[in-house]
A and B are shown apart, each in its own frame.
Chain A
Amino acid sequence: MKTDELIALLARDAGPVPTGVGERRFAAALVLGILAALAWVQAAFGLRADLPLLMTTADFWQKVAMPLAVAVTGLVVVFRLGHPGARVRGWWLGVWLPVSLLWIWAAAVLWMAEPAARMPLVLGTTWRSCVFNVTATALPIGIALLWALRGLAPTRPTLTGAAAGWLAGAVGACVYSLHCPEMAAPFVAVWYVLGMGLSAALGALAGRHWLRW
């Protein structure tokens, strides 16, 4: 085919193009993903009975501070990665800085604790299931985000998939914390981060295969 013919064909298809497609897809993906994750946590584990009271305590907000911060900045990062030529720049900081701060805080908590209390602080009572539960809660959110990205044009599919998985892991961790009985920073610093990392790895794999265009 001649390039002129192709251009003529494409030019006839010039139509009013809707604006804000990316914003709408991301909003829809987040709402649906979070609702599905909430339904899953409620059905599989049940929300904490003391939730209304818990949400007024500083402990709870200190625990979700890391995933919440990663979720907010990760959303900007993933949104930009979905648009060709958009630069992420300083927003990358939000992807790893909250985790680094949490690690420093967790190390300080461990350092100040009695030697005998250190292992329980890290392992809690649910360490065996925590990683899997965080990743499973992130799954519907991750799938919804990949759907949103498929309607955009990420030029780095693997990286975008990994970032979307990390973001889904952070949002999933926030949702899972409505069930999770653990409150110690070292526990969150190890198992929550591993769960988010697993989610990011799955995202990278999925991105490689599903985000090509």
Chain B
Amino acid sequence: MTRIDPVIATEHELHELFLAGLDGDAAAYRHFLERLGALLRGYFRRRLQQLPDEVEDLVQDTLMAVHAQRQTYRRGEPLTAWVHAVARYKLVDLWRRRARQEALNDPLDEDLAVFATADHEAGDTRRDLGRLLERLPTSQRLPILHTKLEGLSVEETARLTGMSESAVKVGVHRGLKALARLWKDMT
């Protein structure tokens, strides 16, 4: 019996799930994102031992980036290389951001910050989806709320909100783009 390299096995499995997701299989895509989230958490935790609070934020950032940039994945290429490049880009981005912040911050504030940090649930991040959604216009917020979070169909959402079906679809599409932008601004 030949021994299968665990990394190669993971690559095969994730690759299949991801391709199914690219073709519109939501269940496979969800499974892929869950697996990837766990892998990313391990990857970032090893590299951010001084900054454990940043790990979950970065996992979410990277998942968001993987989703937003998935059209740049070329089907023949190894998925590992693509995911790794995206994850490393987000990691370097975080380091650069923190270096800039530290250069701007008064050291005195930094001392006080140790006592100012509030507790927060593990696995939860500072971004609140509800608050982000509130910043969208109604024509985008309601379609997202009903179709994406409550799982209603486009038709049901249209009936509920009095919007046309195409307006609901456009609202979801634009709203998700606006959410991604807001998301980026918060980092």
Contact = CB atoms under 8 A, between A and B. Distances in A.
A3 B63 contact: yes
Contacts of A82: 72
A1 B124 contact: yes
Determine the main DSSP class of A at the interface with B: loop
B87 to A, nearest CB: 9
Nearest to A9: B148
B4 interface: no
B98 interface: no
A86 B133 CA distance: 35
Interface string B88-129: 110001000000000000000000000000000001110111
Contacts, number: 113
Given A3-B60, A84-B82, A10 B72 contact: no
Contact of B59 (A3, A12, A19, A21): A3
A155 B89 contact: yes
Contact of A6 (B24, B26, B63): B63
A85 B71 contact: no
Interface in B58-90: 59-60, 63-65, 67-75, 77-78, 80-86, 88-89
A17 B71 contact: yes
Contacts of A153: 65, 69, 72, 86, 89
B155 interface: no
Given A17-B70, A85-B82, A11 B59 contact: no
Contact of B149 (A3, A7, A9, A16): A9
A15 B26 CA distance: 8
Interface in B3-39: 21-30, 33-34, 37
A15 B64 CA distance: 15
A18 interface: yes
A152 B64 contact: no
B178 interface: no
Contacts of B83: 85
Looking at B59, B63, B84, B85, the one whose CB has the most chain A CB atoms below 10 A away is B85
B77 A86 contact: yes
Given A11-B33, A18-B71, A85-B82, A2 B89 contact: no
A133 to B, nearest CB: 35
Contact of B26 (A14, A85, A155): A14
Contacts of A4: 34
A12 B128 contact: no
B29 A84 contact: no
A15 to B, nearest CB: 5
A7 B60 CA distance: 9
6 contacts: A1-B127, A2-B123, A7-B30, A9-B148, A14-B22, A152-B72
